[in-house]
Amino acid sequence: MNNLTNIKKVLTITINPCVDKSSSVSGIVPEKKLRCQLPKYEPGGGGINVSRALKRLKAESLTLFTSGGRTGKLLEELLRKENLDIFPFTVEHETRENFIVTDSLNEQQFRFGFPGMPISEREQIAFLNTIQKIEDFPEISVISGSLPDGVDPYFIKEVIQVCKHKNSKVIMDTSGKSLEIAAEEGVFLLKPNIGELSALTGNSELSNSMLDVAAAQLIKKGSAKVVVVSSGASGATLFYDTKKIYQPAPLVKVRSTVGAGDSMVAGMVSVLAINGSMEEMLRMGVACGSATTMAEGTGLFQTENVNKLLMAL
């Protein structure tokens, strides 16, 4: 299982994990029985996917996540099969599932996300205490993914504060109110998309020429030391201090976008953990994210594809 005294450079935190169940069918039409292929089950949730991707990059992490019911046990089993160092935090309610179906006639993908069950206040306090008790606290903490329904978004602030108190660099990849709260608290790295950056800086929308100003605004007010703005197939832009780095994405055949953002975070973290440059960090992030879009269903990247894309960037 887990050993909280093992020294790891990276801690990933997933408060609303899931099991992704994926399949394919030849033609999706209403009101007919659709005969799907055998389903594939994979671990899911932001921080969990970051840890899975880090493992493929030969970077070790401690994977902390909530786990409940039969689905939670399945999630733990799937993660053990990938040889991750896991620390499941047991909660009362069942871990959620997501359902992904690909129409093999046109390669369209349909993604059905189910809400996570609430975590009680008692469980939230115990979860924070669990983080607090980690010895030899990792240098980098990745807090990624959504919150279960009914959990106050300000719980994220408490999680961030515990990690910062341990002098860990907090990397935040979330959305909505949780992202807003993370920006208010201040973290090491934020990864918004253009729409999220617009909302954070009070703009209805942002043109490419306005990205620099908006990112600089976040850095100046202490929301983050590093801001990485993802633009999907166009690539990503990294801002830090007064510097800007743009990395276009390679042209690939996109099969699925599931896990691409998490893979991008893992790529960046793998370089940050060995004190690589910002340029190397962004390049690896884009390569990993792009390589994951080449995978079918909910699969993450193949390492050989990452290496090929790195050579092309």
Active site residues: 262
Alpha helices (H) along 174-250 = 176-185, 194-200, 208-220
User: Which residue's entry shows tokens 């030969």?
Assistant: 58
Q: How buried is 207 (Cβ within 10 angstroms: 0-12 exposed, 13-18 middle, 19+ buried)?
A: exposed
- The answer to whether 52 and 300 have CB atoms below 8 angstroms apart is yes
CA 68 vs CA 19, 198, 229, 263: distances in Å:
12, 36, 34, 25
User: Which residue's entry shows tokens 């969990």?
Assistant: 48
Nearest CA among 300, 12, 308 for reference residue 159: 12
Single-letter amino acid code for the residue at 191: K
Buried/exposed 17-49: b ≥16 CB within 10 Å, e otherwise: bbbbbbebbeebeeeeeeeeeeeebbbbbbbbb
DSSP class of 232? G
- Which strand (E) or helix (H) includes residue 230? strand 224-230
